[in-house]
Structure 1
Amino acid sequence: MKTNLVWFRNDLRVLDNPALSKACEDKDASVIGLYIATPQQWRAHDMSARQVCFIHDRLIELQKELAALNIPLLFQTSDNFTDSIDEIVQLCKKHAVDQIFYNNQYEYNERKRDRLLKDKLDSDIKCFEFDGNLFSTPLTVLNGQQQMYKVFTPFRNAFLDLFIQNIPNIHSKPEPRKKLTIKANKIAALDYPKEDYDFFVPDIQKALEKLEEFCAEKVEDYTEKRDIPSLDYTSHLSAYLALGVISVRQCFQYLVQEYPDFWEKQKSGAFTWFNELIWREFYQHLIVAHPYLCKHKPFIDWTDRIKWKNNPDHFEQWKTGNTGYPIIDAAMRQLNQTGWMHNRLRMITASFLVKDLLIDWRWGERYFMSQLTDGDLAANNGGWQWAASTGTDSTPYFRIFNPTTQGQRFDPKGDFIRQWIPELAKVPDKFIHEPHIWAEKNGKLIDYPQPVVIHDIARKETLEAFEAAKKSA
């Protein structure tokens, strides 16, 4: 009888899990699940306490789901990736494991870890890898020169051509196994700070209900309403995707049930949302094609010569939501209190840090990771480099968001601002984005900081810094 080990990583699900499904194909094989927590590694990569708490809660649920299939989920802790490989080698010897199944992770250190596993395993133990968290295998969507695309739209078009020709199937839930003598151990408390998270639940049925509800009730208006932070029109599925609680194939399955052939209607809400999933795919493919993106390097070389101000006081004001620009501060307070931020606001706050405060985008990238429940290296890096004009398919450096007009556009009456900045509750709609003008005109005192910089002056300084860096290249 063979013994198959399923190594769970960022694929914390039973449904549509190709590694698990493949391990269970041989009905006579014993199947063991394994999760190894690596707190020291997490700290080195700024993983948020909220995300770690969500992982812990989800593992408890996953262990129950696997137990119903007579598959024990073993839980272990190692300080780092290297030690975790030694743990797996020992476990394989202890349980006479013949085959190991896992879904790929694409970050540089994770790929290095997986290569180390193959080097350390006995030659008779086979490893089977799957692209369980993407629609397509990285480096299979290539341009005419057989290179990774540098711009999103051509990548999307090529991706869609391949996708429509071979629409992926969902991997079914495995049948229950014969009972094993191996018992699952308790999911122990993790050596990490504890912090509550909002918006996401570890229960898979509730997560899938949220997906179903979004596709049935909100997708139709997604294009028009997704950028308005006071409206609840985003999917709130990001943490499920980042940790593999739900797969992108499941997202597609639920979406296509409501909107068959939606890809033929590219102005529809359904296509707009699917386009976001392709952006996720794009960023994952990029870190495989360009591993240096995982090492705090910009995609555009010359942008590494920018002379940042990196004012620590300004950075602290940005982090705490005290810049004097209401839409920025409301967004940062939402992040700090919930571990999540609306996507449009991620772009605006990132632009403000880089283009108004002239602070290195990597400071913001790390801070977001330290707060987000849905932190994902590829997506976070891609988003920050887009906003900072240092990445592939980024906004040109001379296009700089005006935080006041951005607020006026996406939160015109200040509904979102008042939710997170109660000290501005009495400011009229007309002045909610410039509360100090109202205060000065009406002799009012408000407990809210003056703008940390004047946007027009900051914009000029940023343009000069970028232009000087480009000329020196």
Structure 2
Amino acid sequence: MRQLIWLRTDLRIHDNTALLAATQAGPTIAVFLLSSAQWQTHNNAACKVDFWLRNLAEVQRNLAALNIPLLIRSAERWQEAPTVIAQLCHELNISAVHVNTEYGVDESQRDAAVGAQLVEQGLLFKSHHDRLLFKPGSILTQNDSYFKVFSQFRKVCYQRLHNYIAPCLTVPTAQAVLPIEADPVPANVAGFTTVATSLQALWPAGETAAQQRLDSFCAEAIDDYSEQRDFPAELGTSQISAYLAAGVLSVRQCLHAALAVNQGEFDCGKSGVVTWINELLWREFYTHILVGYPKVSRHRAFKVETEFLAWRKAPDDLLAWQQGRTGFPIIDAAMRQLLATGWMHNRLRMVVAMFLTKNLLINWREGERFFMQHLIDGDLAANNGGWQWSASTGTDAVPYFRLFNPISQSKKFDPQGDFIRHWLPELAHLSDKDIHQPKQLGGLFDTTDYPKPIVDLASSRERALNAFKNLPRNLPRNLPRSADFNDPFGTD
């Protein structure tokens, strides 16, 4: 009985649960749906879609070695997916469709609709747990609710990992050749701009490239990860987030690579390894939040009272932040890194997010959307979780009275100004001291094009504190809606 593996954000043949299950059940065919309109609605970055397509071409070559043809179909919006998948099953005499579970609201509704359509036709729809170490709903409090605090969530994860660590799965064996021709993988899709070759070169496609990057990190940098990860000028992070988001690497592969250099330990031993594994668990935590509290998929604040925050309408300030023209070098350098590479150092993601939401008092949803529109590793759960953490509107969020001072952060984590000099060459001639606050120099330097700070840090901090202090203690029955934002991940 023929099987269909529907690939989504699982673009690999190694350690792929749905793919292995399909090939073990019968002759297998693969399909990928091009959904340009849906991807635009979800604010997916052009560089991320390009990354998907480049990795899809690599997957097609790897599948061909297993005699599994990869077909390309179009479903501009996911509402079309049930019809497209059902028609393909009819054409190819498919008996079962296999997928790896995805967890966003729209993704869940799409899969439920496809499954219902197939059941009506007497076909099977099998959704496999693959994207996470722990299935949502399996890590719960004593009251059977989803955790809201990471440290408590991590404690239960540790308990589970002490009992069992899922192994990585083998690559399927080659099957007999099927009389089906694979479709060409497009180099681009409508609605997304062409990506610069310089950006593509930073993120080579394919499992081999991803595994090499993971291996290199574990061999050379993971030991010092806890000390080096906050310094953006250093090569102290893994640089695998894009591969993990697209499913070119699995979280199991990442975990086992880390365990291999720490004698199998995940909560003791090398501090760098423990810290990095905790980052994998943060990814788990935010995805569990996405499932347990689906309102965060719908542009709602996790902390209900923060829906009443008096966010500023400041389009000029927002544009200056987006373009890296705030007058604060560490902020502007980080934003230019994002625009040029599709990626931003994790420490700086927190710094620029807190600057936007606290110092500029601009709605976190603006930042969340802008990041998704430009990140090659954009992930709904992690991006939303990070933004709501920084804005003090989310689960386990930073206290509202804790604001990162961008100048202090710059001096602490880029002390010689190396990162700033790389992305702001107009400041390269300044001393290590002056580069963090160039406009304090005055005089001749003011003739350069670098802008003055768009906000006073002290007064803007006080403004943010007052905004949070003035939130209502007793919530009214009807909550305000975020009417200025489309709901790209679902509707209320």
Match of 1:410 among 394, 413, 428: 413
Contact (CA 8 Å) 2:354, 2:404: kept in 1 or not?
A: yes
For residue 77 of structure 1, report the CA deviation from its aligned partner. 1.6
Alignment of 1:234-313 (within 5 A): 234-265=237-268, 268-313=271-316
Contact (CA 8 Å) 2:421, 2:428: kept in 1 or not?
A: yes
Runs of 5+ consecutive residues of structure 1 not aligned to the other structure: none
Aligned partner of 2:107 in structure 1 is 110
Aligned partner of 1:70 in structure 2 is 67
Matched position secondary structure for 1:354: helix
For residue 31 of structure 1, report the CA deviation from its aligned partner. 0.3
Aligned partner of 2:481 in structure 1 is none
Aligned partner of 2:15 in structure 1 is 16
Instruction: Map Cα deviations across residues 207-244 of structure 1 (whole Å, 9 max, x no partner).
Output: 10110110111000000000000001110100111010
Matched position secondary structure for 2:350: helix
Instruction: Map Cα deviations across residues 167-202 of structure 1 (whole Å, 9 max, x no partner).
Output: 101110000000000111111241122223353211
Matched position secondary structure for 1:187: coil
For residue 127 of structure 1, report the CA deviation from its aligned partner. 1.3
Amino acid at match of 1:59: L
For residue 258 of structure 1, report the CA deviation from its aligned partner. 1.4
Aligned partner of 2:165 in structure 1 is 167
Matched position secondary structure for 2:195: coil
**Distance in 1 between residues matched to 2:372 and 2:396, nearest whole Å:** 22
Aligned partner of 1:5 in structure 2 is 4
Out of 310-319 and 199-208, give the one that drifted further: 199-208
Instruction: Map Cα deviations across residues 121-152 of structure 1 (whole Å, 9 max, x no partner).
Output: 13521111112111010010011111110000
**Distance in 2 between residues matched to 1:30 and 1:158, nearest whole Å:** 40
> What's the RMSD between the two structures over aligned residues?
1.2
**Distance in 1 between residues matched to 2:269 and 2:248, nearest whole Å:** 28
**Distance in 2 between residues matched to 1:403 and 1:148, nearest whole Å:** 34
Contact (CA 8 Å) 1:339, 1:371: kept in 2 or not?
A: yes
Matched position secondary structure for 1:127: strand
Contact (CA 8 Å) 1:266, 1:272: kept in 2 or not?
A: no
Matched position secondary structure for 1:150: coil
Aligned partner of 1:47 in structure 2 is 44
**Distance in 2 between residues matched to 1:464 and 1:96, nearest whole Å:** 64
**Distance in 2 between residues matched to 1:229 and 1:286, nearest whole Å:** 28
Count of aligned positions? 469
Contact (CA 8 Å) 2:81, 2:114: kept in 1 or not?
A: no
**Distance in 1 between residues matched to 2:266 and 2:249, nearest whole Å:** 21
Amino acid at match of 1:365: E
Alignment pair present for 1:420 and 2:409: no
For residue 297 of structure 1, report the CA deviation from its aligned partner. 0.4
Matched position secondary structure for 1:179: coil
Alignment pair present for 1:60 and 2:62: no
Instruction: Map Cα deviations across residues 264-286 of structure 1 (whole Å, 9 max, x no partner).
Output: 42661001000000000001111
Contact (CA 8 Å) 1:424, 1:446: kept in 2 or not?
A: no
Contact (CA 8 Å) 1:229, 1:411: kept in 2 or not?
A: yes
Cα distance change of structure 1 residues 398 and 470 upon mapping to structure 2, 3 Å threshold: farther
Cα distance change of structure 1 residues 25 and 467 upon mapping to structure 2, 3 Å threshold: same
**Distance in 2 between residues matched to 1:470 and 1:215, nearest whole Å:** 48
Matched position secondary structure for 2:130: coil
Alignment of 1:25-424 (within 5 A): 25-26=24-25, 29-121=26-118, 122-188=120-186, 189-191=188-190, 192-196=192-196, 197-198=199-200, 199-265=202-268, 268-424=271-427
Alignment of 1:449-464 (within 5 A): 449-464=451-466
For residue 78 of structure 1, report the CA deviation from its aligned partner. 1.5
Amino acid at match of 1:223: S
**Distance in 1 between residues matched to 2:269 and 2:156, nearest whole Å:** 15
Matched position secondary structure for 2:252: helix
Matched position secondary structure for 1:450: coil
For residue 444 of structure 1, report the CA deviation from its aligned partner. 5.8
Cα distance change of structure 1 residues 379 and 151 upon mapping to structure 2, 3 Å threshold: same
**Distance in 2 between residues matched to 1:264 and 1:425, nearest whole Å:** 42
Matched position secondary structure for 1:98: strand
**Distance in 1 between residues matched to 2:232 and 2:269, nearest whole Å:** 23
Amino acid at match of 2:305: W
Amino acid at match of 1:16: D
Amino acid at match of 2:73: Q
**Distance in 2 between residues matched to 1:380 and 1:449, nearest whole Å:** 29
Matched position secondary structure for 1:302: helix
Out of 157-166 and 296-305, give the one that drifted further: 157-166
**Distance in 2 between residues matched to 1:32 and 1:9, nearest whole Å:** 14
Return the TM-score normalized by structure 2. Answer: 0.93
Contact (CA 8 Å) 1:239, 1:374: kept in 2 or not?
A: yes
**Distance in 2 between residues matched to 1:265 and 1:186, nearest whole Å:** 48
For residue 446 of structure 1, report the CA deviation from its aligned partner. 2.8
Amino acid at match of 2:172: P
For residue 289 of structure 1, report the CA deviation from its aligned partner. 0.3
**Distance in 2 between residues matched to 1:413 and 1:310, nearest whole Å:** 36
Instruction: Map Cα deviations across residues 283-325 of structure 1 (whole Å, 9 max, x no partner).
Output: 1111110111101001000101011112000000000000000
Matched position secondary structure for 1:137: coil
Sequence identity of aligned pairs in percent? 41
The runs of at least 4 consecutive aligned structure 1 residues that moved more than 6 Å come to: none
For residue 263 of structure 1, report the CA deviation from its aligned partner. 2.1
For residue 413 of structure 1, report the CA deviation from its aligned partner. 1.2
For residue 470 of structure 1, report the CA deviation from its aligned partner. 3.9
Contact (CA 8 Å) 1:12, 1:58: kept in 2 or not?
A: yes
Amino acid at match of 2:149: V
